[in-house]
Chains A and B, each alone.
Chain A
Amino acid sequence: QVQLVQSGAEVKKPGASVKVSCKASGYTFTSYYMHWVRQAPGQGLEWMGIINPSGGSTSYAQKFQGRVTMTRDTSTSTVYMELSSLRSEDTAVYYCARVGCSSTSCNWFDPWGQGTLVTVSS
Chain B
Amino acid sequence: SYVLTQPPSVSVAPGQTARITCGGNNIGSKSVHWYQQKPGQAPVLVVYDDSDRPSGIPERFSGSNSGNTATLTISRVEAGDEADYYCQVWDSSSDHYVFGTGTKVTVL
Q: Do A and B come from one complex?
A: yes
Residues on A facing B (Cβ under 8 Å): 35, 37, 44-47, 50, 59, 61-62, 95, 97, 100, 102, 104-105, 107-115
Asked if A109 and B43 sit within 8 Å, CB to CB, the answer is yes
Asked if A112 and B42 sit within 8 Å, CB to CB, the answer is yes
A112 to B52 alpha-carbon distance, docked (Å): 18
Asked if B95 and A59 sit within 8 Å, CB to CB, the answer is yes
Which DSSP category, helix, strand, loop or mixed, fits chain B's interface?
A: strand
Residues of chain B within 8 A of A47, CB atoms compared: 96-99
Residues of chain A within 8 A of B90, CB atoms compared: 107
Please classify how large the interface on chain B is, using the bins under 10, 10 to 19, 20 to 34, 35 or more: 20 to 34
13 more CB-based (< 8 A) A-B contacts, given A44-B101, A45-B35, A109-B45? A44-B102, A45-B99, A95-B42, A95-B43, A102-B48, A102-B52, A108-B33, A108-B48, A109-B35, A110-B45, A110-B48, A113-B42, A115-B42
